[in-house]
């Protein structure tokens, strides 16, 4: 597929692509409470609306990949989906969360507009196929596959192919850094360009996947202690660079007082900082006339 072929993903009533407003996928890492989700979501939604950007609320109902078995994981799928449904209704926005088991796919797809596949699980056939089947035939629902830190951009054609084989062509791919060579993720912007030009025409039954950049997880310092560390001070730099590179969406985790977070406290942004980052990226997008 040629580099200039339109790439688009649809979630609810939002079109995610280079020819559409920049999409912000943001919220707290884990859905700690309904009130927290609504508070953060409302602040980010109002910011995006003011700037003419699209907004999708994100929070995890279960954090299955934790550093310790004693780490909090969230409310679980049943309570989490109830809260996510309420957030979607009250704010009037699409919602997304990650799934970790094939059994999560169908109930999650009944509520979520985007099923997110975690980076470590991006090659798990059973999970991809379950997610694909759960959204197949519904043009308003999508699967977002985060690129594994161990995969090249070209290898992300594999997950897209698996989804296509079960009838799911509404797909987004997310870059979140690569390798753990010295306890930090590295963002390869040459590779990001390759991902944005990934050729899936041989098997994809729909538009090529749009590409999202995961701002906050890209600042992680894996293996830096009992809990994963981070460099959230670099999030604005990475967000601006990814926006200038032409990504269709930015993924940002934010909450008040990140140090009190149940998960990813070292990388989440304070809500005010996240708003500043979104404002900066809106100006970058405007300067490039990519709308």
CATH of the domain at 261: 3.20.20.70
β partners of residue 144:
116, 172
Chunked mean pLDDT (size 10), the chain, 291 residues: 67 94 96 97 98 98 70 86 98 98 98 97 97 97 96 95 95 89 82 93 79 94 71 95 97 94 86 98 88 46
Q: How do residues 212-247 score in pLDDT, each as one tens digit?
A: 999 999 998 876 555 678 889 999 999 999 999 999
- Rg of the chain taking only CA atoms, in angstroms: 17
SS3 label, residue 28: coil
- Domain assignment present for 96: yes
- Domain assignment present for 1: no
Structural domain containing residue 207: 8-288
- Domain assignment present for 114: yes
- Domain assignment present for 2: no
The pTM of the whole model exceeds 0.85 = yes
How does the average pLDDT of the chain come out, rounded?
91
Task: Name the domain count of the chain.
Answer: 1
- Domain assignment present for 92: yes
Q: Which of 88, 25, 24, 84 is nearest to 60 (CA)?
A: 84
DSSP designation for 22: P
What are the tokens at 134? Answer: 């759960």
- Domain assignment present for 3: no
- Domain assignment present for 46: yes
- Domain assignment present for 37: yes
Tell me what pLDDT residue 103 has. 97
């Amino acid at each position: 597929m040629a580099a200039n072929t339109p790439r688009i993903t649809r979630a609810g009533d939002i079109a995610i692509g280079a020819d559409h407003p920049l999409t912000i996928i943001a919220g707290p890492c884990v859905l700690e409470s309904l009130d927290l989700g609504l508070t953060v979501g409302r602040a980010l939604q109002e910011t995006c609306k003011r700037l003419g950007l699209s907004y999708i609320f994100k929070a995890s109902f279960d954090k299955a990949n934790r550093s310790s078995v004693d780490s909090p994981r969230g409310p679980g799928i049943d309570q989490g989906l109830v809260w996510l449904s309420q957030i979607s209704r009250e704010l009037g926005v699409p919602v997304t969360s990650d799934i970790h088991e094939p059994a999560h796919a169908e109930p999650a797809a009944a509520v979520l507009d985007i099923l997110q596949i975690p980076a470590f699980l991006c090659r798990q056939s059973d999970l991809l196929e379950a997610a694909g089947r759960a959204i197949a035939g519904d043009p308003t629902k999508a699967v977002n596959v985060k690129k594994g830190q161990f995969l090249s951009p070209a290898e992300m054609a594999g997950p897209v192919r698996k989804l296509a084989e079960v009838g799911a062509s509404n797909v987004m791919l997310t870059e979140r850094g690569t390798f753990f060579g010295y306890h930090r993720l590295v963002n390869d912007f040459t590779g990001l360009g390759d991902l944005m030009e990934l050729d899936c025409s041989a098997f994809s039954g729909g538009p090529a996947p749009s590409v999202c950049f995961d701002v906050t997880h890209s600042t992680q310092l894996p293996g830096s202690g009992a809990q994963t560390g981070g460099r959230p001070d670099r999030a604005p730099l990475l967000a601006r660079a990814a926006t200038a590179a032409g990504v269709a969406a930015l993924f940002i985790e934010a909450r008040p007082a990140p140090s009190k977070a149940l998960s990813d406290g070292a990388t989440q942004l304070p809500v005010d900082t996240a708003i500043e980052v979104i404002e900066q990226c809106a100006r970058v997008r405007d300067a490039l006339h990519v709308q």
